[in-house]
Structure 1
Amino acid sequence: MNNLTELEVENLRHLIGGHGLVVQKLEAYAHNCTDPELKTILERDAQAAKQAQQQLMTFLG
């Protein structure tokens, strides 16, 4: 399934990098958060972004 064009690969890399940035930010926000409910939400969203990033990476392999 690696019949991607150069543009598609570049777009995938951009999306993957964007998800990585979202993960870093959400984890930092969660680390600094004092509200336990909000901290849980941020951690859950960070995990979802990681999973999406990993899923996108499967298209490159």
Structure 2
Amino acid sequence: MNNLTELEVENLRHIIGSHGMIANKLDSYAQNCTDPQLKSMLQKDGQDARQAEQKLLGFFG
């Protein structure tokens, strides 16, 4: 992380937060969904958003 500027770190935090928020929304939509195919798609997209969030958090580690 030493190579990142302050602006880049701030942007990265914003992006990470956005992925978390998107994952939470997709999880909520999936819980309320009655169509099995759509529910599965929403769950997978939520998992993908969480994985992206975790990868981005790796820049802080």
User: 2:9 matched to which residue of 1?
Assistant: 9
* CA offsets 1:2-57 (integer angstroms, 9 cap, x no match): 32111000000000000000001000000000001100000000000000000011
RMSD over aligned CA atoms reads: 0.9
**Partner of 2:28: helix, strand, or coil?**
helix
**Partner of 1:9: helix, strand, or coil?**
helix
Structure 1 residue runs of 4+, over 3 Å off? none
Sequence identity percentage? 64
Tell me if the contact between 1:30 and 1:43 (Cα under 8 Å) persists in the aligned partners: yes
| TM-score between the two structures when normalised by the length of structure 1 | 0.95
Greater fraction helix: 2
- Structure with more relative contact order (C-alpha pairs < 8 Å, separation 6 or more): 1
